[in-house]
């Protein structure tokens, strides 16, 4: 990697507030990776340096502006090219983090962790150790449980693996499903046809697909039922074969629903079940079937399980702290409930001892009389 600068205007003793012009040559790295398709990545640089005029051409950048701003720009370009040289690629988020002076999340080395390329060359890959474990489990098992809190990439990684299998011809279709359970809200009667009624529950699956498949192609897949998104209740009575099946939000499936879903899988299908046991939205009189399924299916060959945690969170940096805060509060609540239960047991024991003592005294008095 090398960055060469050629100053064609800057002369000694010229005040720094005058405009200067330099040429920066980008060498030793993939130019498409640096500039992005249609300069999408380079546009991030433009937005970060609004006072500079930046003109890219082939492997060089003409920079016009204040000397101080130019020096900062040169430093950032060196950091970007150094990062690409070391890791082979750089994402828009990593560019923004480097420009902001924040150490970016490093990509996992090796092309074996790349899942697929989305629209505009967007690279989708395993970004955390447990996501990498998830890839390996799906490779070696037909049924995989991915359990973890919000923001750990369970659903996104699962959908990416399904799209990859479809693009590689390993399956003929994708079936995505989740229970239509309200998350602590009473949504009431939803207007529209059946699809419009259930779509709000399935929106996260649509969002993931939008990142991975061009809109026109996605519409074709949906219209021709190559990709099917449906509520869990619609799975009853079906046998789904030659497909990649994903059950999302499985913690909101009852024991009977989860058993029904798992028995829909055809002989040439793969399946991922994702869930978060800390966010169960079922009514109080219904129990989640996910924890029971994890227990009774744990020793079956061909079924794998990966547990993701707050270290795998790839959303906003505060999400990890939010999860940790809720975990701490839940542990405190459990400790308090356990203490209250122990107090009740102690009071009951004391009452039983009191009544027993009282009964013994009464018997002794009767004997004395």
**pLDDT tens digits, 233-272:** 888 888 889 999 999 999 999 899 999 999 989 998 999 9
Domain shared by 192 and 268, yes or no? yes
The whole-angstrom separation of Cα 129 and Cα 126 is: 8
Provide CB contacts within 8 A for 55, sequence distance 6+: 61, 62, 63, 64
In a domain, 325, yes or no: no
Q: Predicted confidence band at 330 (pLDDT cuts at 50, 70, 90)?
A: confident
Quickly list DSSP for 133-152: HHHHHHHH-SEEEEE--TTS
Helix (H, G, I), strand (E, B) or coil at 289: coil
In a domain, 211, yes or no: yes
Mean pLDDT of 123-150: 89
Helix (H, G, I), strand (E, B) or coil at 101: coil
Name the region of 45 (left: φ>0; alpha: ψ -120 to 50; beta: rest).
Answer: alpha
Domain shared by 115 and 227, yes or no? yes
Domain shared by 148 and 187, yes or no? yes
The predicted structure's pLDDT at residue 32 = 84
Domain shared by 37 and 148, yes or no? no
Indicate the pTM of the whole model: 0.57
In a domain, 68, yes or no: yes
In a domain, 105, yes or no: no
Q: Which residue stretches of 11-153 are H helix?
A: 31-35, 42-48, 67-87, 92-99, 129-140
Range of the domain at 31: 2-99
Domain shared by 306 and 205, yes or no? yes
Using the predicted structure, report yes or no on whether residue 146 has a pLDDT greater than 80.
yes
Domain shared by 336 and 302, yes or no? no
In a domain, 276, yes or no: yes
The predicted structure's pLDDT at residue 37 = 83
Find out whether 145 and 306 touch, Cβ atoms under 8 Å.
yes
Classify residue 147 by burial, with Cβ atoms within 10 Å: 0-12, 13-18, 19+: buried
**pLDDT tens digits, 207-230:** 888 888 888 888 999 899 999 988
Domain shared by 179 and 293, yes or no? yes
In a domain, 321, yes or no: no
Domain shared by 255 and 162, yes or no? yes
Domain shared by 162 and 283, yes or no? yes
Domain boundary among 43, 67, 99: 99
In a domain, 80, yes or no: yes
The whole-angstrom separation of Cα 54 and Cα 77 is: 12
Q: Specify the CATH number for the domain of residue 15.
A: 3.30.1370.10
Q: Which of 293, 304, 276, 309 is nearest to 145 (CA)?
A: 304
Domain shared by 126 and 247, yes or no? yes
The whole-angstrom separation of Cα 319 and Cα 306 is: 20
Domain boundary among 69, 99, 129: 99
Domain count, the chain: 3
The whole-angstrom separation of Cα 222 and Cα 243 is: 14
Domain shared by 18 and 51, yes or no? yes
In a domain, 25, yes or no: yes
Looking at the chain, the whole-number percentage of residues with pLDDT higher than 70 is 81
Q: Predicted confidence band at 108 (pLDDT cuts at 50, 70, 90)?
A: very low
Provide CB contacts within 8 A for 171, sequence distance 6+: 162, 165, 242, 243, 244, 268, 269, 270
**pLDDT tens digits, 78-93:** 988 888 877 778 888 8
Domain boundary among 43, 64, 99: 99
The whole-angstrom separation of Cα 166 and Cα 63 is: 45
Backbone angles phi, psi at 29, to 5 degrees: -135, 160
Domain shared by 116 and 226, yes or no? yes
Q: Specify the CATH number for the domain of residue 137.
A: 3.40.50.300
Mean pLDDT of 184-189: 46
């Amino acid at each position: 990697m090398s960055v060469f600068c050629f100053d064609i205007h800057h002369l000694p003793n010229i005040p720094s507030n005058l405009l200067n012009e330099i040429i920066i040559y980008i060498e030793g790295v993939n130019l498409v990776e640096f500039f992005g398709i249609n300069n999408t990545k380079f546009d991030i640089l433009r937005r970060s340096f609004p006072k500079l005029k930046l003109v890219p051409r082939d492997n060089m950048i003409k920079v016009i502006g204040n000397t101080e701003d130019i020096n900062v720009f040169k430093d950032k370009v060196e950091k970007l090219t150094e990062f690409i040289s070391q890791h082979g690629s750089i994402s828009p988020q990593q560019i923004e983090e480097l420009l902001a002076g924040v150490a970016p999340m490093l990509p996992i080395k090796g092309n074996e962790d790349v899942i697929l390329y989305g629209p505009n060359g967007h690279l989708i890959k395993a970004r955390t150790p447990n996501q990498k474990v998830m890839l390996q489990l799906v490779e070696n098992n037909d049924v995989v449980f991915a359990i973890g809190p919000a923001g750990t990439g369970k659903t996104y990684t699962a959908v990416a693996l399904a799209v990859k299998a479809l693009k590689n011809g390993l399956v003929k279709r994708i079936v995505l499903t989740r229970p239509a359970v309200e998350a602590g809200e009473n949504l009431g009667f939803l207007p529209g046809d059946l699809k419009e009624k259930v779509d709000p529950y399935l929106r996260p699956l649509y969002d993931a697909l939008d990142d991975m498949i061009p809109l026109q192609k996605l519409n074709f897949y949906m219209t021709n039922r190559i990709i099917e998104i449906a509520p869990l209740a619609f799975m009853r009575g079906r046998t789904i074969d030659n497909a990649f099946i994903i059950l999302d939000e499985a913690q909101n499936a009852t024991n009977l629903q989860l058993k029904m879903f798992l028995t829909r899988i055809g002989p040439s299908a793969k399946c991922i079940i994702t869930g978060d046991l800390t966010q169960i939205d079922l009514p109080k009189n219904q129990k989640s079937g996910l924890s029971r399924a994890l227990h009774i299916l744990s020793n079956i060959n061909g079924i794998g399980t990966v547990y993701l945690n707050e270290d795998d969170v790839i959303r906003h940096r505060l999400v990890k702290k939010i999860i940790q805060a809720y975990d701490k509060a839940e542990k405190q609540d459990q400790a308090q409930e356990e203490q209250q239960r122990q107090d009740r047991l102690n009071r009951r024991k004391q009452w039983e001892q009191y009544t027993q003592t009282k009964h013994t005294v009464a018997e002794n008095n009767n004997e004395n009389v």
